[in-house]
Structures are given as structure tokens and as C-alpha cells.
Structure 1
Amino acid sequence: MKQVTLLVSLLLILSMFNTVVADAAAPEGISHARMMPVDNIANHGSTMVELPDGTLFSVWFNGVGERDGNLTKLIGSRSKDGGKTWTEPFVVYDTWDFPDNNPVLFVDSQQRLWLFYGVIYNGQWVSTQTKFMYADMGNYEYAVRNGGNAKWHYPQPLYTNVGEGMFGEGKYSNGQWNYGIKGAEIKFVNPSSVTAATYLDPSQYVSVTTRFGGATRFITDSFVVSMRNKYDQYVAYLKSAKPYDDVYAGRTDEIITMLTTGVSVKEPSIIKNSIERSSGADNDVNTWGPIYRRLGWQTKNKPIEVTLADGVTKRLILPLYSDSLANSVCAYTDDHGITWKFSDPIVGSGTIQGSLIQKKDGTLRGYFRSGKLDGRNGRMAWHTTYSESTDFGVTWSVPKVDPYLKNDGGFELSKLPNGDWLIATNQETSRSVVKKTLDGNRNSFSLLLSTDEGMNWKPIMIKDGMNNGESYEYPSVLVDRAGNALMNYTYKIPSAGATIGFSKIASSEIGTLFNSVITATYGAGSSLNYDNVVMLPTIELNVGQSTQMAYNLTISGQSFDATTDTLTLTSDLPAVATINTSGTVTAIQAGTAMVTAVSNKYGTIYKFIVKVTQ
């Protein structure tokens, strides 16, 4: 009997050992869930936080439209099991008969839960009023609220007074230009008042002519002057660096044209129109009232909280953007939301929907999506731009174009406990050099890791819908206190509708997944040649020829036949070359196609080029 018991014990130990080995060799990978059933109306713009009790809270807007859907409201859901399951959605806030839009959640160091969002007054982005409300500890915990809505303080407008006050016309006296205490117009000087005796430095004003009547003013408001000066520097940078020419030769010059002269009546000069609107010169009245500076500022991504140089004061910095001006500012408060101030403008190739992160030396960096005037966003520049602040968000540098990060929609950054950066984005969807196109898409969703504060990035694919037509829009990423990477996004399913998707990578597996590798051979085991021009492995086929691909996945130091793990295989130009689910590549017509293999479980990405000749 003792021998049998000993044998059973040994078998149990061996079984446990084998389980540990298997688990170590096969990480759990990326897990997925849905926050709500698929719905045939708009569900978009989701945001998510981890509350002090360890539960998750997400909010998004839901309705029949975005800016023009009067029934559009904010709804939310909670999870107390790390995102595996979610409560039935509930109404968070509904401004009666007006659409609520682009919610942003944040928990600050005092454990106050903030909710920022926009109310659209007349169905146009220019009419957006940013508002915020908050709930303190004891008013939002899962148990206290029974898994439902927080008990919020009543919404407050975030009055955006960018630049200086409405001081009107300047008069020269006592050796300087003086302005009134208040007025209906921004600071300006009448050009006829400027003489040799009343000198006005040209770097301190912008000459602006109204669209109606032809009157010209020297605008001396700091916001407008800063816009002009920064745009001058940015265009000079574009001319020198040509940062968009990796898309195709001449693309940078096209961007410069969009900025400086415009391309059509509907798409005029971004710089000229932004300056006119910021000055109030677009009004068909005698009074230059710049409504675009007071309304139209929108939220998209979470604020960041930083400690000021005194080592005590906490500053909350919220990125805001304007589709009407095609640029951004940061709103900041040092007194817990009692008063707010605003940064100088952040200009560039339509710098909108910024996401902020702090470097180890304390510098703030903001990454920005490209957008055109009046909400014609996306597809202008494709690359993101970034700007930095060394004074805790008050002033921002002239942006630079990031050489790697590309997107066709919203994105968000977050920081891991070890200081590494993550960005959730619609990256890895199209070629930049090989395929001369500006067409991005949102049919794939990637998480990128940088271990050197944005100098280099490595991707894994969270979701790939290139074959089934699914899309994953406005992805966001949150790192919880345990170091897990939590992601939420608009999940659109063809012919069904939309839901809010959730994905998770355990903290213990983040490094493992980003270090996983797929390799490939073709035919009888031949290795692919590396093309230094397109910077990808390649194979060459004649029209009508086929070859079989074989994939190998290495993860946690172990190699696996990748066919044992489900792969998504796609060709970006099926008219040139196709690949079927078993990995057979077939050449259709002369040209080049990029084939992508993605591990659905681990997100590992492998790409190669098929060159087809007659």
C-alpha cells in the first residue's frame, strides 16, 4: 500500500512539474473580452481607469452619431475581475438634447476620480464646450455604488481662454504700447499707428486681413504671434529634414503646400486659416471676436499629473485639441481644478488628439495625430509628430516628425513600472516605402514598446481584422498597479455593429511577448533573402507560380511550429500575390505585395515581400 501511495505521489509531482514546464513554455498570451453586446448604433471613444479598490471603470459615448447625435450620451461599465467580465452598461451622464462626446477618465494622486468630456452645442466641432466633473473617495468605489455610476459633483465648464485677454486696440504712450483693461476684441494695433516714432517689432505681431472688407490689423496677442512664429520654424524644419519623404519622394512638399497655400477651396491653407480664425478675422462683422479660441477645444486622452520643482505641488495637465484650428494646447491646474491656465499653441502637421508622457529627466513629451481643418482628420501626414515641454506643460517646442510611429486614428501612451513606454495605435497596417499610398486603415490594432523613451519601438499585434473586415478604433492603453497592460477600443464587426473591446497582457508576459520571434522558410526549406531597399525579407516568384511557407515561433526560449498556433495570414495586394490559410503563396500579376503573418495568441509579427515578375 505504501508503494502504491508513493507511486501516486510521484506521478502527481511529475504531473505538476510537467504542468509548470508547459505553462512556462506556453504563456497565456493576449486575452480578450467585450464590455457590452454588439450594438448597431455608435459606441466609440472609450476611456478606462483602475480605481483604488482594484476594479476597472470604463466610459464611452453611445448614440446615433458623434457631433450631430442629440441622443448621444456617456455610458459606462465596471469590472471587478481584471476585465474578464463587465457589468451591464449604465448611463454615466446625458446632457439633455445635446451630444456628449470623447470622455476621459483619470484618478489623481489624491484618489479623486475625474471625468472630462465635450458637449457639442450646434452639431459642429467648433461648438464643443469641454466640461469636467469629479467624485472623491467614498463616492465611486464598486461596492459603494453597487457596480454602477459614481456619485459625481455637478459638471463644470472648462472655460478655455487661450492666449491673452480681450484687451482690444493698443495705443502708444510713454514709449510703449498700452491696452485697455477689457474689450470685445483681442490685442491689436492699427497699422496706421505704427511709425518710426512708435516702433513695433515685427516678431511681436502678425499682420492679418479680414475676409470681409479687407481691413488689416497687426495682431499682438501672444497666442496668435506664437502660432505664426512656430509655424515658420516648423515649415523651415520640414524643408530641411524632408521627414515625410519616406512615404514617397515629394510627400513633404505636399504637406508644406497644405500648410502654406492649401490645395482647394474646401482645403485652404491651414496656417492662414488657423491664424485668421484665432484672430477673429473670419467674422462677417466689424468686431473681430475669435470664437474659435473659446469654443471647439476637445478632449481625447488622459491627463498627466506631475510634481513641480518645489517637490510638493501637483499639476494636472490635460491635452486639448481644436479641429477648427488644427492644433493643440494643454490646460493645467495647480489647485485641484479650482483654476485653470493654458499653454502656448502646439502647431505642426495638424497636431490634434495628443497623448502625454514624462521622460526620466522630467521633460514632458506629447505625441499628436495629424488632422486637417474642420475635422477632416487623418490621412494628412500619416506620421505622428511630437513636441516637448521643459516647464511642466506651459510652453512647448516646435514639433518633430516621428520616423516610425504612424497612425490613421486616435492612440494613447502609457508607462510601465520599469519606465518603458507603451503606445496603443493602428500601427503596422500599410507599407510606407514600398506601397506609395496614403491610405491607412483601422483594421489592425498594435501595441508598441519602447525601452529608450521613444527612440525605437517594437510592435506586437493585438487584433488583426485585415481578412474579416473588423476594425479597432481609438485604442487606449492603461498600465494598472500590478503592471498589466490593459487596452480598450471601439470594436466594429461588419454587418453586426459595434461594441467596446478589451484586451489584456499580464505584467509577467509583456517582455516575453515583445521578445517573441517568427521566422519563415519557403519551398523545400529555403531561407528568404533580405532586401536592404525595402528592409524586409523577400521571395521572388513568376506569375502563376506558387510556393509553400513554413513558420517557426520562438517564445520564452522555446521554438514551436507556428502552424500549431493560429496565424492570421494576409497580403496587402492580393491582385499581385495571395496567401491562403495553409500558407501557400501564389503569384497573380507583376508587382510587389507584402505578406504579414501574425500570431493571434501572442501578437508576434512577421512580414516579407513577394516580388512577382512575368
Structure 2
Amino acid sequence: MISTMAILLMLAAPDPAVFKSELIFPPEDFHNHSSSIVETAEGDLIACWFHGKGERKDDTLVIRGARKNKGASEWSAPFILADNKNLPDQNCTLFIDRDQRLWMFWCSAIDNEVRSYFPMYRYSTDYNGDGPPVWDWQDALFVRPKDAETAFPELLKTRIKMVQETDFLTEEMKTQILNHFEERREMYSDNLFQRIGWLPRQPPIMLSDKRMMLGLYSDTFDCSMFAFTEDAGQTWEFSRPLVPFGIQPSIVRKKNGDLVAYMRASPKTTCVESSDGGMTWTEVPLDILNSGASVAALALESGNWILAVNDVPDGRHQLSLYLSEDEGETWTRKRYLEKLDPEKGSVTASYPTLIQAADGMVHATYTYVNEEEAKGKAIKHAWFNEDWILTGSSYDK
């Protein structure tokens, strides 16, 4: 007979650490990149990524997807989620809102240059069957940044001053950056370039039952911005462009309602905070390396936060997961999603997306390239519980 004490000890014991991973499809001699993942109310998983032979110069790029039904041991064969014929489709992200609509945001480069990216979105209420969702609605996301006429010239002026006064750049690096600004000076006052060239990367978040917030970024201006809708995409409003350097924002919300966004930058990850619902932002110091690759942040049901990042000075061979128990004030645990050989530049892991499923498991998808062994590019899916993170090495940043 099991004693009362033994029962209490079993009940009090933490869940065993769990970590598993798999490829969504076998490695291919194609460029598979920039993935996203959602869990449906039925417990199924749907992932997306872009697929082709390159990036913006490749007009054959399409958005692919696959699903893993609840209880299934493997993913379905890939299917097409979007294909603007003869245009490169890129940077897809998935999201399910509180009305159970499945959203997909993505973009196409109209003239195959970064200045011409054009964001789009579609949503579905019929996505639980096999294969791709049945889309109910699709539209272009027409962007007009808030106060654009004054915001962009101010952005240019402020950034020139930041570069001139910084201590960590060499004079050669400063000259290169300032020349880059000078080459694009006219774009900063051009309505067309202020309004096109915006891309999504990480999924939006809901600020209320109706108000959705989506991060956008521009490779033309090397900056981020946020889009908001309260009527399921019928109309949109936008923040001003952010002054701090950083792109591809991943947004989390504090318990007090303040917002924090983590952004791709180099040599360190950029962190910004907003106390007015995402309309204005202030940079917050963060001492976590970034090799200039996409990051993903997530607030867990426990209240802890996690951050996935390529935390090396150069390359994408190490994809780490950090944990914070105080909403990003400090980061106390660190795990490796991938720790690959830095001497093998053809083996990389990057561009993570994170979600937490209804059962508490955390799911990550990311680009996985292994030209050494598997000879190809794929999207990897990893899933783990919070105990796996908590049993990681201590980290004090």
C-alpha cells in the first residue's frame, strides 16, 4: 500500500523535463525559411514557411504549409498556402485570434528589391480539414506610418547623430553606415517609399478582444513599426517608425499592460518598451548577443518569459533559449535549441517562432540547414515543457 507521504511526494514532484524535435519534411535542395506555427482549438498544429530557390530575386517563391493532427506521429505532405504567380512570396506568419479566425500575413517583392515589399493578409474560419485552409478573405495591407511627413526626416537626423556619437563603431564602420543613409536620403521624404517595403515576420498579439497588433519592419529604413486593427483587418492604423535600430519585432505583454518588443540587431538584441499600447517606444538595455538574425519572444502561462535568439557574434550555428522570471528584467536560465559546429558554416539553425499549446507544451519552428550530412534545407519543429527550460544552466543577465 502506498503511504500518504509517498502520494504527497508524487503530487509535489515536478514534471520530468521533456524535449523532442523533428523535421517537418525531409531536407530539400530548396530555400525553406521564415516559418511560423499555430495550434488549433482541435489540438492540431499548422506550420508555414516560404519555399523556392532564393529570396526576393526568385519569382518562383511560394508560401507552403503542413499540418500535424492531434495524436499523429508525423506531419502531412506540404501544401500551398499562397502563391502570387510570378512574384516572390515571403515572410509568412500564422495567428489564431479570439474569434478562432486563422490569419496568415506575408509579403511579395513587386520589383524584386527590398524597397518594394508589399504586405498582405488573409484569414479562414474553415481550416480543420485536411490540406490547406479555405480562405474567407484576403486583402493588401496598405501602410501609412503615423506622422510620416515629419517622422522619417526626424528618424534620419536622429540616427545620423546616434552613429556619429557612438563609441563601439570604428570610423570605417561609421563611414559605411553614414554613406548608406546618404544613398537613401531621398527615400526618407518620399511618400511611396514610406508606404511600401514593409514586411511581417512574427505573429501579432491581441491587445483586447478586438484590437490586434502586428509588428512590421523595413529593410529600406532598417526600422520597425506596428499596425493595429479593431475590425478584423477592414481598417488599419499605424505607429510612428521606431528610432532604435532593430527589425522583425516579437511582442510580449506585461501583466500591467505595458508592451515589450525584442528585435533582430547586431551585435546585441534590441529591446524596446511601450506604455501607451504600442504607439510610442523607448529603448531598454539588453545584454544578449545577436548575430543579426530573427528572434522570438513568448510570455508563458506561468508568467515566465522565453526568448529564442542566435546569441553569437557571427553566424547562425547556435540557437539559444533564455528564460526570465521577472518579465524580462533579468534572464536566469539558458538552454540550447541547437548548438552546432561553428566551423561548419553550412550547418545552421535560425528564425525561430514560439507558441505555447493548450497542454502547456512550448512549440518552436525554425529554419534548419545541414549541407554536411542531410544535404539540404528544412523546417525543424521542437517541442518541450517549461521544466526542460528550468533545468537548464543558470544565467545571470
What's the TM-score bracket when you normalise by the shorter of the two chains?
0.7 to 0.9
> What pairs with 1:215-614 in structure 2 (closer than 5 Å)?
221-228=149-156, 231=159, 239=166, 250=167, 252-254=168-170, 262-264=174-176, 267-269=177-179, 272=182, 276-280=186-190, 290-307=191-208, 314-348=210-244, 350-370=245-265, 381-397=266-282, 399-427=283-311, 429=312, 439-457=313-331, 458-466=333-341, 469=344, 470-495=347-372, 496-506=375-385, 510-511=386-387, 513-516=388-391, 604=392
The question of whether the paired residues in 1 share the 8 Å contact of 2:289 and 2:310 is answered with: no
Partner Cα distance (1:302, 1:25) in 2:
31
* TM-fit CA distance, 1:80: 1.6
Partner Cα distance (2:81, 2:95) in 1:
15
Partner Cα distance (1:71, 1:111) in 2:
31
1:44 aligns with 2:33: yes
Q: How many pairs are equivalent?
A: 383
What percent identity do the matched residue pairs reach?
28
**Residue from 136, 141, 145 that aligns with 1:153:** 136
When residues 222 and 300 of structure 1 are mapped into structure 2, their CA distance, relative to the original with a 3 A threshold, is same
Partner Cα distance (2:271, 2:113) in 1:
27
When residues 234 and 362 of structure 1 are mapped into structure 2, their CA distance, relative to the original with a 3 A threshold, is farther
* TM-fit CA distance, 1:222: 2.9
The question of whether the paired residues in 2 share the 8 Å contact of 1:292 and 1:325 is answered with: no
The question of whether the paired residues in 2 share the 8 Å contact of 1:33 and 1:84 is answered with: no
Letter in 2 for 1:298: L
Partner Cα distance (2:90, 2:180) in 1:
25
- What does residue 104 of structure 2 align with? 115
1:140 aligns with 2:140: no
The question of whether the paired residues in 1 share the 8 Å contact of 2:315 and 2:342 is answered with: no
The question of whether the paired residues in 2 share the 8 Å contact of 1:120 and 1:129 is answered with: yes
Give 3-state SS (helix, strand or coil) of 2:175's partner. coil
Deviations 1:379-438 (A, max 9, x none): xx31011222222122222x24412353431111111102111112212x4xxxxxxxxx
When residues 232 and 69 of structure 1 are mapped into structure 2, their CA distance, relative to the original with a 3 A threshold, is closer
* TM-fit CA distance, 1:163: 3.6
The question of whether the paired residues in 2 share the 8 Å contact of 1:226 and 1:344 is answered with: no
Give 3-state SS (helix, strand or coil) of 1:263's partner. helix
* TM-fit CA distance, 1:481: 1.9
- What does residue 129 of structure 1 align with? 118
Deviations 1:162-185 (A, max 9, x none): 2458xxxxxxxxxxxxxxxxxxxx
Letter in 2 for 1:419: G
Partner Cα distance (1:279, 1:27) in 2:
56
Partner Cα distance (1:333, 1:366) in 2:
18
Partner Cα distance (1:222, 1:37) in 2:
49
Letter in 2 for 1:490: T
Deviations 1:152-199 (A, max 9, x none): 13431101112458xxxxxxxxxxxxxxxxxxxxxxxxxxxxxxxxxx
Partner Cα distance (1:275, 1:418) in 2:
46
Partner Cα distance (1:420, 1:25) in 2:
16
When residues 53 and 383 of structure 1 are mapped into structure 2, their CA distance, relative to the original with a 3 A threshold, is same
* TM-fit CA distance, 1:228: 5.0
The question of whether the paired residues in 1 share the 8 Å contact of 2:262 and 2:295 is answered with: no
* Cα RMSD after superposing both structures: 2.8
**Residue from 79, 84, 88 that aligns with 1:95:** 84
The question of whether the paired residues in 2 share the 8 Å contact of 1:31 and 1:504 is answered with: yes
**Which gives a bigger RCO, structure 1 or 2 (Cα 8 Å, sep 6+)?**
2
Partner Cα distance (2:67, 2:369) in 1:
21
1:73 aligns with 2:62: yes
- What does residue 434 of structure 1 align with? none
TM-score (structure 2 length as normaliser): 0.88
Partner Cα distance (1:103, 1:421) in 2:
24
* TM-fit CA distance, 1:31: 0.4
Give 3-state SS (helix, strand or coil) of 2:316's partner. coil
Partner Cα distance (1:450, 1:233) in 2:
33
Identify unmatched segments of 5+ residues in structure 2: none
The question of whether the paired residues in 2 share the 8 Å contact of 1:488 and 1:503 is answered with: yes
Deviations 1:262-287 (A, max 9, x none): 424xx54455556531203xxxxxxx
Partner Cα distance (2:142, 2:14) in 1:
55
When residues 234 and 358 of structure 1 are mapped into structure 2, their CA distance, relative to the original with a 3 A threshold, is farther
Deviations 1:475-533 (A, max 9, x none): 12111122211110111112401111011113xxx23x3343xxxxxxxxxxxxxxxxx
Partner Cα distance (1:224, 1:42) in 2:
34
The question of whether the paired residues in 2 share the 8 Å contact of 1:56 and 1:82 is answered with: no
Letter in 2 for 1:477: L
Partner Cα distance (1:235, 1:453) in 2:
30
TM-score (structure 1 length as normaliser): 0.58
